[in-house]
Structure 1
Amino acid sequence: MDNTMPVTVLQKHQRKRFNQRSQTIAYLTFSIGFLLVIAVIGTLVGEMAITTNFTQKNLLPNAAHPFGTDWLGRDMLFRTLKGLSISIFIGLFASVISAIIAAILGSAAATLGKKVDAVITWLVDLVMGIPHLLLLILISYALGRGTLGVTVAVAISHWPVLTRVIRGEILQLREENYVKIAGKLGQSKCKIAIKHMLPHVFPQFLVGLVLLFPHAILHEAALTFLGFGLPPEQPGIGIILSESMKYLSMGMWWLAIFPGLALLFTVQLFDLVGGSLRKLIDPHSAQE
């Protein structure tokens, strides 16, 4: 007689959620480790990324120089690691600032009345109505370009979507019975927001922050590539790709391929982490 119990739908769902959670933790652990390794290596190879050696210029990828060398004999592996670390630092800082702006504006729109909500909603629509790259260029150029210009441009242009998400979540929470009861018991709006709303909104905030990060890296690289971002003396990924364009026609493919793949890998990694977190937290997307 077979004593095996049939697997219920609930058990299947729990098993799926457990597998999803384990997968998300693995992705998150790997991505954090990747960030730390790139940050440390990028700091250590700072001088080597700009050191020229004319006896080693234009070398194909080999054992001594896995990514080859450029027209000045600079090692492309060191330049790629340094450039990636710069992009990661700028992207991380800008995405955190942008997510905080979104949290503040989204909370204010949902809790401070219809007039404040109308103003913030209009501001969100205004920013989203401007072509994103054009807005980045205008802000960076107005601030004198450079590290400050590109960081501020990325930070203050990526908050609208997350603002809408947080606003919608808080508006739904306001209709919950326990929130209404807390208000009738005399609790202040500030206490209700901190005790009853922020814990529920934090997962959405975290997912939004993780998903903002790859967008911030890409837009920093794009802005620098177009000449409105980092100065040429900083080996950012955008600078490396921009400088390599004139040498591609000469067959020096490695100058763009390896930095481009490194940027693509970083962006895809954190996009995957953000997507996994969203599926784990959002019950609707978890069924996809």
Structure 2
Amino acid sequence: MLLKDQAVQTNFARKNLAPSREFLFGTDWMGRDMFARTLAGLSLSIRIGLLTAAVSALIALILGTACAVLGRAADAVISWWIDLMMGIPHILLVMLISIACGRGFTGVVAGVALSHWTSLARVIRGEVLQLREAPYILTASKLGVSKMQIVKNHMIPHLLPQFVTGLILLFPHAILHESSITFLGFGLSSEQPAIGVILSESMRYLTTGRWWLALFPGLSLVCVVMLFALLGERVAKLLNPASAHE
């Protein structure tokens, strides 16, 4: 809360100051501390990224498992839906969903969460298709164990590594797309200190030499995205038995 208050606090006596010891990222045309605004924007992006990545990964787990468990008809319908979603340009799909849900926080969360599950769902579907032919799964089925119990007790534990890895790798994509549609004006409102809002506003002042308004927020966003992408790759290697020795 304190960080958010500092991010929106204006002081025209210190406007357009270049980076210094007092203001590490400088100040903008309203005298707002760009360091505080960048941290607040990253905090908001991270919260949105965590929420949307979790929802997307859960959707992918449910639909990917349903493809291989509910029969050929369900598999055909869900696979067709995955292909349809993946055939639409990603950023366009995110914007359309965001607009349909009224933009703002709700629109961004819905747009990102409902458009990022397709790749992970396809991976989980492939895993389940192989897993359901395993001897212990076939034995459990012949012994009369219900499909739901097989999924809960045998398939879900096996799918956890793919689920966790997919969840972490979805996170940087969610942050980037949230910032992108906000930058384009289809996401969060301009009153919120989001990275997309900061970058969008800074474009009007770059020609006047105020480079710090876009440089530091942009670099901070790239660093966070690269950090979580690297974390996802490391977790994938740790959870993959074939690469555990690396």
| TM-score (structure 1 length as normaliser) | 0.83
User: How do residues 1-288 of structure 1 correspond to structure 2 at under 5 angstroms?
Assistant: 43-284=1-242
1:31 maps to which residue? none
Q: 1:36 matched to which residue of 2? A: none
Letter in 2 for 1:171: L
SS of the residue 2:204 aligns to: helix
Deviations 1:37-58 (A, max 9, x none): xxxxxx3311110111011000
**Superposition deviation, residue 285 in structure 1:** 5.5
Using the alignment, how far apart are the partners of 1:44 and 1:198 within structure 2? 41
Q: Partners of 1:282 and 1:116 in 2: how far apart?
A: 29
- Aligned CA distance change for structure 1 residues 221 and 278 (closer, same or farther; 3 Å): same
Deviations 1:149-190 (A, max 9, x none): 011000000000000011111111111111111111221111
Q: Deviations over 1:52-71 (max 9, x none)?
A: 10110000111111110001
Q: CA RMSD in A?
A: 1.2
Q: Deviations over 1:191-220 (max 9, x none)?
A: 111111110001100000000000000000
Q: Distance in 2 between matches of 1:284 and 1:263?
A: 33
C-alpha deviations, 1:226-245, integer Å up to 9, x for none? Answer: 00000000010000000001
Give distance in 2, aligned partners of 1:90 and 1:209.
Answer: 13
The residue type paired with residue 212 of structure 1 is L
- Where does residue 30 of structure 1 map in the other structure? none
Residue aligned with 1:249, SS: helix
CA separation in 1, counterparts of 2:43 and 2:120? Answer: 25
CA positional deviation for 1:135: 0.5
**1:287 Cα deviation after fit:** 7.7
> Aligned partners of 1:219, 1:107: CA distance in 2, in Å?
26
Q: 1:216 and 1:162 mapped to 2: Cα distance?
A: 14
Deviations 1:80-121 (A, max 9, x none): 011111111111101101111101100100100000000000
Alpha-carbon offset, residue 277 of structure 1: 1.1
Superposition deviation, residue 283 in structure 1? 4.0
Q: Aligned residue pairs: how many?
A: 246
Unaligned runs of 5+ in 2: none
The alpha carbon displacement at 1:282 in A equals 2.5
Give the aligned residue type for 1:141: I
Aligned counterparts of 1:89 and 1:120: Cα–Cα separation in 2 = 29
The ranges of structure 1 where at least 4 consecutive aligned residues each deviate by more than 3 angstroms after the TM superposition are 283-288
Alignment CA distance shift 1:171-1:233 (3 Å): same
Instruction: Return the TM-score normalized by structure 2.
Output: 0.97
Question: What CA distance in whole angstroms lies between the structure 2 residues aligned with 1:212 and 1:287?
Answer: 25
Give, in whole Å, the separation in 2 of the partners of 1:132 and 1:283. Answer: 32
Identity between Structure 1 and Structure 2 (%): 60
